[in-house]
């Protein structure tokens, strides 16, 4: 297939180019994000390949059909950016990469957690300036903490196992209970109990209408004082304005986020020479107890190879018309 590859970066190109000799697809890389202004680039292609912040709303999908593009391969797991109902009506087939390396994301959640509670990001800068003072670097143990994990699918399960390994009590909330996790000692509880009992909360559920602002003013009020919140799921799982208030009044002790509610206007680009217009992220960056990474939890060598392999296999299946394993089911 001829494939227009949107939001491409050097690391995407490297991993896909490594594998394309094994597949018969021609990939053309565009750095721009897919939206109503760039959708015209898809003209003449059989499929498009997109990532987390590409727009796949009704208008873009309609335009794709006008351009005779009816196959979309997402090179990510989450699909909250897709208007699935419109895609269904328009007869567009959409595949994703359901799981490439859940451990990569779970390990990044751990990295955020360990960095923020042990302040190694501060220590790194201090030591480089010959400042070996330990004042202000008192951290907390993870061992024996009660960790609440919201969403125990592929990534949440991997995170639960890490926390169990570190000697934590793990509480979980999901619509479905994972029996294996229960044998490891994970206890499924109601969301309200998890919120009230956990000193660390990590978010691993998808962004849906139900989970948007799951962490809001009311739930923050029910949390323990000094709670640590980690979000590698999707930015809008947290009401940003509410968490800023909770950081200001010290209800939230630490916040580690790899995703941000308004990230589509910021992430995956070098804006270091620009004037930051987003007041909320600017405020978040002023807190000493907040750590932000720019949606990099997936970014390991192993994940990139797996994403490329599964995406190219998805294209094979779409082309051959056989049953497509990773097609996103009808809404
Ligand atoms: P998954 O589909 O394996 O698991 C998601 C789990 O969340 C399922 O067990 C599901 O039942 C549960 N869930 C759904 N609605 C829920 C609700 N209202 N409350 C509690 N649990 C609920 O997905 P996976 O692979 O574990 O990924 C989870 C999310 O992580 C993705 O949807 C995506 O948004 C995010 N992600 C972030 C990445 C990053 O680089 N930061 C990379 C990959 C995924």
Judge if 93 and 123 occupy the same domain. Answer: no
Q: Say if residue 131 is in the same domain as residue 254.
A: yes
CATH code for the domain of 280: 3.40.50.720
Residue 173 CB–ligand 1 contact under 6 Å: yes
> Same domain for 126 and 227?
yes
At 329 the pLDDT is 86
The answer on 256 and 136 residing in a single domain is yes
330 within a domain of the structure (yes/no) = no
Residue 179 lies in a domain: yes
pLDDT tens-digit readout, 179-215: 999 999 999 999 999 999 999 999 999 999 999 999 9
Residue 331 is assigned to a structural domain of this protein = no
pLDDT at 12: 97
- Tell me whether residue 234 is one of the annotated catalytic residues: yes
Nearest-CA residue for ligand 1 atom 15 is 205
Same domain, 274 and 171: yes
Q: Which of 37-41, 137-141, 284-288, 322-326 has the lowest mean pLDDT?
A: 322-326
Q: Ligand 1, closest atom to CA 176?
A: 11
- Residue 125 pLDDT greater than 90, yes or no: yes
* Domain containing residue 255: 102-292
- Average of per-residue pLDDT across 275-302: 97
Does ligand 1 come within 6 angstroms of the Cβ of 206? yes
Domain assignment present for 328 = no
**Catalytic hit among 75, 219, 234, 261:** 234
237 in the same domain as 120: yes
pTM: 0.95
Tell me: do 40 and 9 sit in the same domain: yes
Integer Rg of the chain from CA: 21
Query: Is the beta carbon of 105 within 6 A of some atom in ligand 1?
Result: yes
67 in the same domain as 37:
yes
The reply to whether ligand 1 has any atom less than 6 angstroms from the CB of 148 is: no
Query: Domain tally for the chain?
Result: 2
What pLDDT is stored for residue 91 in this prediction?
A: 95
Q: Are residues 204 and 284 in the same domain?
A: yes
**Residue 108 is a catalytic residue:** no
Residues 95 and 106 in one domain: no
Q: Has residue 255 got a pLDDT over 90?
A: yes
Tens digits of per-residue pLDDT, 39-87? 999 999 999 999 999 999 999 999 999 999 999 999 999 999 999 999 9
pLDDT confidence tier of residue 307, bands split at 50, 70 and 90: very high
Q: What is the pLDDT of residue 1?
A: 96
Among the atoms of ligand 1, which is closest to the Cα of residue 157? Answer: 26
- For residues 261 and 113, state if they share a domain: yes
For the Cβ of 234 lying below 6 angstroms from any atom of ligand 1, the answer is yes
Domain check: are 74 and 214 in the same one? no
């Amino acid at each position: 297939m001829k494939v227009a590859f949107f939001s491409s970066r050097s690391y995407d190109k490297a991993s896909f180019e490594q594998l394309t000799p094994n597949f018969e697809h021609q990939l053309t890389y565009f750095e721009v994000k897919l939206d109503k202004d760039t959708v015209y680039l898809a003209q003449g292609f059989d499929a498009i390949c997109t990532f987390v912040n590409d727009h796949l709303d009704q208008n873009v999908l309609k335009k794709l059909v006008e351009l005779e593009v009816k196959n979309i391969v997402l090179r990510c797991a989450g699909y909250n950016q897709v208007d699935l109902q419109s895609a269904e009506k328009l007869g567009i087939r959409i595949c994703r990469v359901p799981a490439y390396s859940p451990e990569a994301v779970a390990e990044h959640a751990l990295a955020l957690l360990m960095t923020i509670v042990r302040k190694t990001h501060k220590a790194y800068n201090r030591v480089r300036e010959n400042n070996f003072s330990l004042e202000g670097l008192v951290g907390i143990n993870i061992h024996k903490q009660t960790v609440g994990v919201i969403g125990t699918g592929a990534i949440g399960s991997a995170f639960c196992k890490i926390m169990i390994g570190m000697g934590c009590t793990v509480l979980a909330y999901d619509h479905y209970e994972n029996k294996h996790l229960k044998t490891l000692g994970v206890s499924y509880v109601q969301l309200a109990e998890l919120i009230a009992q956990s000193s660390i909360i990590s978010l691993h559920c998808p962004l849906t209408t139900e989970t948007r602002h799951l962490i809001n003013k009311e739930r923050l009020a029910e949390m323990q004082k000094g709670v640590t919140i980690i979000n590698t799921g999707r930015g809008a799982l947290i009401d940003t304005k509410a968490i800023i208030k909770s950081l200001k009044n010290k209800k939230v002790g630490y916040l580690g986020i790899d995703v941000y509610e308004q990230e589509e206007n910021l992430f995956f680009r070098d804006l270091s020479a620009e004037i930051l217009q987003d007041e909320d992220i600017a405020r978040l960056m002023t807190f000493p107890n907040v750590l932000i990474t720019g949606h990099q939890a997936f970014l390991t060598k192993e994940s990139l190879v797996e994403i490329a392999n599964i995406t190219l296999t998805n294209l094979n299946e779409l082309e051959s018309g056989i049953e497509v394993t990773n097609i996103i089911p009808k809404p």
